[in-house]
Amino acid sequence: RKAQQEERRGLPARTRDGHAVEIGANVNRPDQVPVALSQGAEGVGLMRTEFLFLERGDAPSEEEQYETYRAMLAALDGRPLIVRTLDIGGDKQVPHLQLPHEENPFLGVRGARLLLRHPELLEPQLRALYRAARDAAAGAGEGSLLIMFPMITSLREIEALRAACDRIRAELAAPAVPLGIMVEVPAAAIQADILARHVDFFSIGTNDLTQYALAIDRQHPELAAEADSLHPSVLRLIRMTVEGAAKHGRWVGVCGGIAGDPFGAALLAGLGVRELSMTPRDIPAVKDRLRDSDIAGLRALALKAVDCETADEVRALDGGAS
């Protein structure tokens, strides 16, 4: 039975009518990779690198980061690894960095905004990543690294981050690495057709996108439960992102919590999302759900969902596999 279960987990998330969705794991450390693979992950869709800073009392050096990224790539043995550059600020405070206190940190200097103001954080990380990409490409198990930037709001940020990547890549004689952004601010979703021209892929962070779309602090003791990623407004932002990306032939993933919910995953696939990344333990149920569906049915489901009036109405569409 165990062997049967393992075998099923290893099958791709392909719908009955042959539409494949890529399944990644949200994993932060190399020692978590084998667990993710045993659950059926096909790669890492989100490595939250702020954990490298949060798990200790100081900032890891470029060398230490390099070792970690190499170990991740080695553990993945050629499968894709999407590394998100530091997403500090908001709910992810790192006391030892002694950053200034903010009255409203979710609307403050966080994610890409912080990186662009702190080259002493951005540059060692990019150097470590490009060195890892270069040395993995030279080694046996061909590495497959992608870099993604958090909390992007406007094109200027993408241009500045790309320029830093280009410079560091040239200095290190490193190979090109696909560069993507997280879509987690409504402004980025609404302008997806513009931003898509300048990046290789999008990954939608539905946790933050929901918080910013609904104006509900994702950690609010009273309100957080209402920060529902199935709210039709959020689904419409996801649809806009997919449509904007398609204009330039870019693919879209989702790495927020909704990707790990079987019904959410089905809806996202119907909206045209190509990759879903989630907590490893959520993978088997999501794969089963997609494998029991037809993409035509999921598209019809998604069309209905974006026209719903409330999140409850969206949820009521869940009649099991479609």
76 binding partner (options ligand PEP, Mg ion, none; Cβ < 5 to 8 Å by kind):
none
Distances (CA, A) of 131 to 3, 68, 90, 112: 39, 12, 29, 21
Contacting range for Mg ion; rule: CB under 5 A; set: 1-9, 198-206, 228-236, 302-310: 198-206
Bridge partners, 92 (sequence order)? 89
Chain contacts with ligand PEP (rule: CB under 6 A): 46, 48, 87, 184, 205-208, 255-256
Report the residue number, 134 or 264, with the smaller CB distance to ligand PEP: 264
Min dist CB 154 to Mg ion, Å, is: 17
13 binding partner (options ligand PEP, Mg ion, none; Cβ < 5 to 8 Å by kind):
none
Q: For residue 58, with 0-12 CB atoms within 10 Å meaning exposed, 13-18 middle and 19 or more buried, which class applies?
A: exposed
Residues of 9-23 as b/e, b for ≥16 C-beta within 10 angstroms?
A: beeebebeeebebbb
206 binding partner (options ligand PEP, Mg ion, none; Cβ < 5 to 8 Å by kind):
ligand PEP
Q: Report the amino acid identity of residue 296.
A: A
Report the residue number, 45 or 205, with the smaller CB distance to Mg ion: 205
Min dist CB 207 to Mg ion, Å, is: 5
Contacting range for Mg ion; rule: CB under 5 A; set: 15-23, 123-131, 184-192, 287-295: 184-192
255 binding partner (options Mg ion, ligand PEP, none; Cβ < 5 to 8 Å by kind):
ligand PEP
Min dist CB 297 to ligand PEP, Å, is: 26
Report the residue number, 255 or 268, with the smaller CB distance to ligand PEP: 255
Report the residue number, 154 or 207, with the smaller CB distance to ligand PEP: 207
208 binds Mg ion (CB under 5 A): yes
For the four alpha carbons of 266, 268, 270 and 276, in that order, the dihedral sign comes to negative
Q: Report the amino acid identity of residue 263.
A: F
DSSP class of 29: S
Report the residue number, 238 or 298, with the smaller CB distance to ligand PEP: 238
Bridge partners, 274 (sequence order)? none
256 binding partner (options ligand PEP, Mg ion, none; Cβ < 5 to 8 Å by kind):
ligand PEP
Contacts 24+ apart (CB under 8 A), 4-8: 5/284, 6/38, 8/284, 8/287, 8/288
For the four alpha carbons of 138, 139, 144 and 146, in that order, the dihedral sign comes to negative
Min dist CB 204 to ligand PEP, Å, is: 7
Beta strands 44-48 and 13-14 are unpaired
Report the residue number, 179 or 255, with the smaller CB distance to ligand PEP: 255
Min dist CB 86 to Mg ion, Å, is: 12
Residues in the chain, overall count = 322
Please give, one letter per residue, the 3-state secondary structure of 241-303.
HHHHHHHCCCEEEECCHHHHCHHHHHHHHHHCCCEEEECHHHHHHHHHHHHCCCHHHHHHHHH
How many residues interact with Mg ion (rule CB under 5 A)? Answer: 3
Q: Which of 43, 180, 205, 262 is the binder for Mg ion (CB under 5 A)?
A: 205
